[in-house]
Amino acid sequence: MSRIEILGLTQQFKGHRAVDDVDLVIEDGDFVVLLGPSGCGKTTLLRMIAGLLEPTSGRILIDGQDVTALPSKKRNLAMVFQSYALYPHLSVAKNLAFPLAVLRTPRDERDRRVREVAATLGLEKLLHRKPRELSGGQRQRVAVGRALVRQPSAYLMDEPLSNLDAKLRTATRQELSELHDRLAATFVYVTHDQVEAMTMATKIVVLDAGRIEQAGTPEEIYHRPASVFVAGFVGAPPMNLVPGVVGSIGGVVVSTAPGIEARLWEGEVENREVVIGVRPEHLRAADFATGALRVEGLVERIENLGSENVVYVRVGDTLLTARGDGLGGIRRGEPIALGAALERIHLFDRTTGRRLE
């Protein structure tokens, strides 16, 4: 298995830097998810690791060996892409066995591996079919299976679940996680789906405009987002982000929006424009009296999700979101008072967007 080291990696397309000076270490056995909005450079970064795209500058090391100039097939990586290219004239079994046939693996071992992978991905009954006789989701599972039959240095996957329906996506997600636990293999996985990132990753790398915004465990990314961008991108519904300024009263941070009051600390960060962040689940009626952040507004909309309500609260020009099971009995148009405890509040510099300690 493999440790992948990325040093100053850059990909420039006609003056536009799709990947911009990225440094990243993927440890042996990591499940790294490259997460970010469309166009942020996830696929480009993965394609460079795969050896399908030559970097403009920078280096890639696999287990200490510089592979930057090495062609894809010599890197011993298994790849699954969104556009799963299956061989149309071969059965599912032969498609799955193909990478082993190329490696001249003995037939009985080949058959055994194909059976194992087919069982893992629920493809046993489809082994004799041709790709055109499969649904999109089934084809995608064959593409995943084809990567799994080998024992490569690392698995590289680009949105491999994007064509699956919600149920199958959840099931396949769990299968991939279990597989990762079992193989203790290195995975690099591209997605813009934060649920996939949060549930499968040992490390999430959030990208924006070709640069790493933050790399950390799912817990770090969720609970200590390093920037306004990460705070707003990870979490659904997204974190409430309200502009604020450091007030004149001894460094107390006061929100600019009337009806939102924040008293975060005294001292240090004076005369600074900030962004105050609080996640919807941390805005609670119970914290109004004692919270460091206090909000008084009107209930504009309520979404009942069964297990909990999502409540949209209008405070002047600002629309805040609260969610939780303690928000029953609330009516549209009525006043509401919510608060958040100090430890639930995130603070960012408004100019740089970076987190303040």
Residues that bind ligand ATP (CB under 6 A): 13, 18, 36, 38-44, 192
**Least distance between ligand ATP and beta carbon 49 (Å):** 12
Output 53 or 70, the one with its CB closest to ligand ATP: 53
Q: Which helix (H) or strand (E) holds 228?
A: helix 228-233
Closest CB 188 distance from ligand ATP, rounded Å: 13
Q: Which tokens belong to 269?
A: 């960060």
Beta carbon of residue 43, minimum distance to ligand ATP (angstroms, whole number): 3
In this structure, what DSSP letter does residue 113 have?
A: H
Cα(53)–Cα(45) distance, integer angstroms: 9
Q: Quick one: 215 or 310, whose CB is closer to ligand ATP?
A: 215
CB 159 to ligand ATP: min, Å: 7
**CA separation (Å) from 260 to 97, 126, 290, 297, 320?**
61, 59, 14, 9, 10
Q: Shortest gap between Cβ of 246 and ligand ATP (angstroms)?
A: 36
Which residues make Cβ contacts (< 8 Å) with residue 259, sequence separation at least 6?
295, 296, 297, 315, 316, 318
**244: which residues sit within 8 A by CB, 6+ positions away?**
253, 254, 255, 256, 262, 273, 274, 275, 276
Minimum distance from CB of 220 to ligand ATP (Å)?
21
Nearer to ligand ATP, 40 or 161 (CB): 40
CB closer to ligand ATP out of 209 and 269: 209
Q: Which residue has the tokens 């009263």?
A: 249
Give how far Cα 91 sits from Cα of 132, 142, 148, 349, Å: 10, 10, 17, 57
> Would you say 160 or 277 has its CB closer to ligand ATP?
160
Rounded to 5 degrees, what angle do the CA atoms 162, 95, 136 make?
A: 30
Q: Which is nearer to ligand ATP, 19 or 118 (CB)?
A: 19
